[in-house]
Amino acid sequence: MSTNTVASRMERARNGVGVSGGGSINPRKKKRISPRTWTLVAFAAPSLFLLVLLNLYPVIYAGIQSVRDGDLINPGNFVGLQNYTDVLTSRSFWNATRFTLIFTIVGVFGSWMVGLGLALLLRTKVPGGGFFKVLLLLPWVVPVVVSATSWNWLVATPQSPLPMLAQSLGMGNVLFLADPVLAQVTVCIFKVWVSFPFMMMMMSSALASVDINVYEAAKMDGATNWQAFTGITMPLISRSTYISWILMTIFCVNDFPTIFLLTGGGPVDATTSLVVLAYRTVFQNFQTGPGVAIAFIMTLVLVIVSVVLYRQIRKVNVE
């Protein structure tokens, strides 16, 4: 093959002409958006606009308030990060942070352990298992106002059933909501009470996806019940477990009615969480800037915790 022929073919290739003499290669045509796509966008646009407006605007406005020294009526003057500095150096903020941490840890892991235990129990052949499932859902289904009122009747006054029972057992006059430590314990137990049905449903759905044949194979290999639980059950439901931890962490940190209806944040601010502190700061002390700053700090912490747990979900690889 001559040099001129090779050069000619290379030139034809650069110009988009086939070496074998075919016609030029047409460039790819840009994909046009179909009328059906435009129709779907037109129908979805109003909802998307309202969704962005209802969520984005309050966040932006709250961010503006967090850097000003105003109240519920007057916007106030720009103070920069002074509100955040005041909040982070406040003793009440760190006391509320400590209780929020305790409340969240007990609420998440306490409700998870109770829910997982009941889910494992109900997975066995229990007479009337469906009826018991409905009964166990009642603490979650009943409005929190009703549950808090019931618990107040049980523990709030010296004439309540539990203080009277404690006194009859020789424990003295036990006031569950007047003592700071007992009030914290009572609030945490109440949170576990109203939250374990959610965890039970999450764990029940996760356990339902586990193949029974895996347990039979492990039993044939000589695995004990505890080995089957730690080596099979827990790894196979780990994704659902992490998801339930993320959701329950958000629920606990943002839980206002459970604490406010039961103790109001008392006694002596022993059960004041961050969300209750933010409410008091804004709506009782009329300090909008510091209150919104507390809310933004809570949001930042929740995002960090959620990201950490979400990465754990992505690392789970069950074969």
Selection from 132-136, 269-273, 303-307 with the highest mean pLDDT: 269-273
What is the domain-level CATH number for residue 175?
Answer: 1.10.3720.10
Cβ neighbour number for residue 121 with a 10 Å cutoff? 13
**The tokens of 181 are what?**
């430590």
Q: Which tens digits make up the pLDDT trace of 10-63? A: 455 445 444 444 444 555 555 677 778 888 888 888 888 888 878 888 888 888
For residue 1, pLDDT beyond 60: no
In a domain, 211, yes or no: yes
Euclidean distance between CA atoms 308 and 224, whole angstroms? 33
CB 139 within 8 A of CB 151: no
pLDDT at 113: 95
- The helix (H) or strand (E) run that includes residue 267 is none
For residue 136, pLDDT beyond 70: yes
- The larger pLDDT score, comparing residue 184 to residue 21, is at 184
Residue corresponding to tokens 């569950």:
176
- Kindly indicate the confidence band of residue 5, based on its pLDDT and cuts at 50, 70 and 90: low
In a domain, 241, yes or no: yes
Q: Which of 155-164, 186-195, 198-207, 243-252 has the lowest mean pLDDT?
A: 155-164
- pLDDT > 70: percent of the chain: 88
Cα 21 to its chain centre, rounded Å, is 65
On average, the pLDDT of the chain sits at 84
What are phi and psi for residue 191, nearest 5 degrees?
A: -65, -40
In a domain, 179, yes or no: yes
pLDDT at 10: 47
In a domain, 46, yes or no: no
**The tokens of 116 are what?**
């997982």
Classify residue 16 by its DSSP letter.
Answer: T
In a domain, 171, yes or no: yes
Alpha helices in 156-237 (DSSP H): 161-168, 180-208, 212-220, 225-228, 234-236
- Kindly indicate the confidence band of residue 88, based on its pLDDT and cuts at 50, 70 and 90: very high
For residue 185, pLDDT beyond 60: yes
In a domain, 157, yes or no: yes
Reply yes or no: is the peptide bond before residue 27 cis, omega within 30 of 0. no
Structural domains of the chain, count: 1
- pLDDT > 90: percent of the chain: 32
**The tokens of 133 are what?**
């499932």
In a domain, 25, yes or no: no
Averaged pLDDT for residues 95-122:
93
pLDDT at 13: 45
- Kindly indicate the confidence band of residue 71, based on its pLDDT and cuts at 50, 70 and 90: confident
For residue 120, pLDDT beyond 70: yes
Structural domain harbouring 270: 95-315
Q: Which of 68-72, 121-125, 161-165 has the lowest mean pLDDT?
A: 121-125
In a domain, 143, yes or no: yes
